Amino acid sequence: MTERGRVLEQLPGHLTLRRPTPGDHARLQQALAAWWDGLGGEAGATQRQLLVPRLFLQHFADTSFLVERPDQSLHAFLIGFLSQTDPGAAYIHFVGVCPEGRREGIGSTLYERFFTAARAAGRRQVRCITSPNNRNSIAYHSRMGFQLEPGDRIDDDGVPVHGDYDGPGLDRVCFVREL
């Protein structure tokens, strides 16, 4: 087994919060393929996997978190970083909680830990994005205090969408949360 990241905190249910290491990449890739209930089929799984390359575990581990079960299996993760361009901002890149661990507050715990780290680094806001069709994510971020940023159009449900944000046909919903 590869070197594990430093344990930061024990969570309820004997879960452990720690920093990720490059050795965690394969487990994250498996989770990205399996935890979204088949969303987008095989192409969707591949797209999610491509969003979290190893470099995030090499260069942004200090602002990212993993939650493990007592058997060291992956339970949840948050990949985030401090903006290099905007000294007042931090960015949450990807978050996942295993299906059987949802609605237990683990996602909120990860977000709060990230908010604390961002504040400690002098950041005043946190940004993130999601896909317009990911209604659960939009609702979750709204409950977490994120505001929807104006887009270039409004969808049928009144959500502001940024067309072609990540390339042709890759629309996104953008959020910001003041700290």
- Model pTM score: 0.90
The answer to whether residues 144 and 109 belong to one domain is: no
Same domain for 90 and 146: no
φ, ψ at 70 (rounded to 5°): -55, -30
C-alpha–C-alpha distance, residues 153 and 40, integer Å: 24
**For the chain, what is the domain count?**
2
- Express each pLDDT in 103-118 by its tens digit: 888 999 999 999 999 9
Same domain for 134 and 109, yes or no, is no
Calpha distance 61→63 (Å, rounded)? 5
State which of 106, 123, 140 marks the end of a domain. Answer: 123
Which of 28-32, 76-80, 116-120 bottoms out in mean pLDDT, i.e. has the lowest?
28-32
The structure tokens 């949360």 sit at 177
Instruction: Give the phi and the psi of residue 42 in degrees, each rounded to 5.
Output: -65, -35
Q: Are residues 59 and 110 both part of a single domain?
A: yes
Domain extent, residue 133, equals 125-179
pLDDT-wise least confident of 1-10, 29-38, 132-141, 164-173:
1-10
For the stretch 57-77, pLDDT in tens is 999 999 999 999 999 899 999
